[in-house]
């Protein structure tokens, strides 16, 4: 029986509640077919409070041999909100060349979307976000902040290598789906960085004549998320734009508690990391009411990446079936079902 070695980082807040629920579902779908061995790591904002570090300096060496990383959420109200990204998330994404942030957006059967006209089966697209450079390159400084002439500089980094590799991924994904790539850009005002982005993606598009290609400014794309979300198939966009649009997409689904994501190294030279798109939600942590679906679905994306396509499809189908019954809805969907009971309903479908 094939065994996968999974590094588990529950993190902070509800991450510590929902990651174990995801593991329960993974083990249920794996039974008799394959096995996952889990090694838990305490990397988190709470760990930072205790030790002065989110994770040790050799953490990437420790995580490197694993097949994948299953991550919850990171952040604590008493810890500087700029630190979780720079001390954990960015280190993992950049260190392991996880240059694709993969975020599926889908209206689920029986789960009401805030959009009255949105229907299950019609809204089904993926946001492919460049994940290691762009606007989140951490290049800049704050100069003389206490003086009247103080100023800040933040420089975006767009490289040919970074743009081309994520573009190839998006077009290859579209070939397997509905055959449309929408480049969401803002090159009419960011006339250097994003003009270069557009030019290189346009060049890549010509190598995929079977895929329809279009360019859409982010303000127009935001409007179309509301007016005609069924139009989209694969959205290709930059680090910051993708970060914002994917939360909007999660809201279209009915709750951020439903939306999964993967930080993917497509070549599998390094482990990829899978996580729900929401944060640690300290206001509801440890009350037993957090929605585990985003973590469970992220686990399905992890299995798909590992090559267990059938298991991943079974988990997604079980989520859809379980949530089509209103009695299984957690608090964020307007229900009263506890975290563990939502998981039980999904496992019972499996």
Q: What pLDDT, on the 0 to 100 scale, is given for residue 139?
A: 83
Residues 278 and 335 placed together within one structural domain of the fold: yes
Tally of domains within the chain: 2
Do 201 and 75 share a structural domain? no
Q: What pLDDT is stored for residue 317 in this prediction?
A: 97
Q: What was the pLDDT predicted at 136?
A: 87
| Dist. CA 255–CA 248, nearest whole Å | 10
Q: Do 241 and 281 sit in the same domain of this protein?
A: no
Same domain assignment for residues 209 and 240: yes
Q: CATH number of the domain that 147 lies in?
A: 3.40.718.10
- Examine the domain organization and report whether 245 and 271 are in the same domain: no
Q: Please name which of 124, 116, 218, 111 lies closest in space to residue 174, comparing C-alpha atoms.
A: 124
Of 230, 253, 276, which marks where a domain is finished?
253
Contact 305, 335 (CB under 8 A): no
In the three-class reduction of DSSP (H, G, I as helix; E, B as strand; rest coil), residue 228 is classed as: coil
Domain annotation covers residue 28: yes
Assess whether 139 and 232 both reside in one domain.
yes
Based on the number of CB atoms within 10 Å of its own CB, is 300 exposed (0-12), middle (13-18) or buried (19 or more)?
Answer: buried
Q: Residue 15 falls within a domain, yes or no? A: yes
Same-domain pairing of 301 and 169: no
> Which residues, 6+ apart, have CB-to-CB distance to 2 below 8 Å?
34, 35
* In-domain check, residue 107: no
Pair 56, 174 in one domain: no
Alpha-carbon gap, residue 27 to 296, rounded angstroms: 11
> For the chain, what's the residue count?
350
Of 204, 224, 253, which marks where a domain is finished? 253
pTM of the model: 0.94
Residue 158 in any domain: the answer is yes
Specify if 6 maps to a domain.
Answer: yes
Domain that holds residue 10: 1-98+266-350
**Are residue 128 and residue 246 in the same domain, yes or no?**
yes
| 231, 278: one domain | no
- Please identify, among 221, 253, 285, the residue that sits at the C-terminal boundary of a domain: 253
pLDDT tens for the chain, residues 1 to 350? 899 999 999 999 999 999 999 999 999 999 999 999 999 999 999 999 999 999 999 999 999 999 999 999 999 999 998 899 999 999 999 999 999 999 999 999 989 899 887 888 899 999 999 999 999 888 888 899 899 999 999 899 999 999 999 999 999 999 999 999 999 999 999 999 999 999 999 999 999 999 999 999 999 999 999 999 999 999 999 999 999 999 999 999 999 999 999 999 999 999 999 999 999 999 999 999 999 999 999 999 999 999 999 999 999 999 999 999 999 999 999 999 999 999 999 999 99
Residues 74 and 4 in one domain: yes
113-143 residues labelled b (16+ CB within 10 A) or e (exposed) = bebeebeeeebbbbbbbbbbbbbbbeeeeee
Task: Note whether 188 and 227 are within 8 A (CB).
Answer: no
Domain assignment present for 73: yes
* Exposed / middle / buried, residue 344 (Cβ in 10 Å: 0-12, 13-18, 19+): middle
Q: Can you give the pLDDT at residue 116?
A: 82
On whether both 117 and 235 belong to a single domain, the answer is yes
Structural domain contains residue 5: yes
What pLDDT sits at residue 11?
A: 96
Do the domain assignments include residue 173?
Answer: yes
């Amino acid at each position: 029986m094939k065994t996968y070695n999974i590094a588990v980082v529950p993190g902070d807040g509800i991450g510590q509640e929902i990651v174990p629920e995801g593991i329960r579902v993974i083990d249920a779908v794996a039974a008799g077919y394959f096995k996952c061995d889990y090694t838990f790591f305490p990397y988190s904002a709470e760990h930072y409070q205790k030790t002065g570090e989110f994770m040790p300096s050799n953490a990437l060496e420790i995580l490197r041999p694993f097949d994948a990383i299953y991550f919850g959420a990171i952040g604590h109200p008493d810890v500087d909100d700029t630190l979780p990204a720079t001390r954990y998330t960015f280190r993992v994404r950049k260190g392991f060349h996880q240059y694709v942030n993969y975020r599926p957006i889908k209206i689920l059967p029986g789960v009401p979307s805030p959009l009255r006209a949105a229907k299950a089966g019609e809204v089904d697209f993926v946001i492919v976000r460049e994940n290691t450079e762009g606007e989140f390159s951490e290049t800049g400084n704050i100069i003389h902040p206490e003086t009247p002439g103080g100023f800040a500089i933040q420089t975006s980094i767009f490289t040919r290598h970074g743009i081309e590799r994520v573009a190839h991924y998006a077009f290859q994904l579209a070939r397997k789906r509905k055959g449309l790539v929408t480049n969401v850009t803002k090159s009419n005002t960011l006339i250097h960085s994003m003009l270069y982005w557009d030019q290189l993606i346009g060049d890549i598009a010509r190598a995929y004549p079977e895929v329809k290609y279009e360019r859409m400014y982010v303000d127009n794309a935001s409007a179309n998320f509301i007016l005609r979300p069924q139009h989209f198939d694969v959205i290709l966009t930059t680090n910051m734009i993708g970060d914002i649009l994917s939360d909007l997409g999660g809201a279209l689904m009915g709750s951020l508690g439903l939306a999964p994501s993967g930080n993917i190294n497509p070549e599998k030279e390094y482990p990829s990391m899978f996580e729900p798109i929401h944060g640690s939600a300290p206001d509801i942590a440890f009350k037993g009411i957090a929605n585990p679906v985003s973590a469970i679905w992220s686990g399905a994306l992890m299995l798909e990446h590992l090559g267990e396509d059938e298991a991943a499809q079974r988990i997604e189908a079980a989520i859809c079936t379980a949530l089509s019954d209103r009695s299984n809805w957690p608090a964020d969907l307007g229900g009263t079902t506890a975290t563990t009971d939502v998981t039980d309903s999904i496992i019972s479908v499996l």
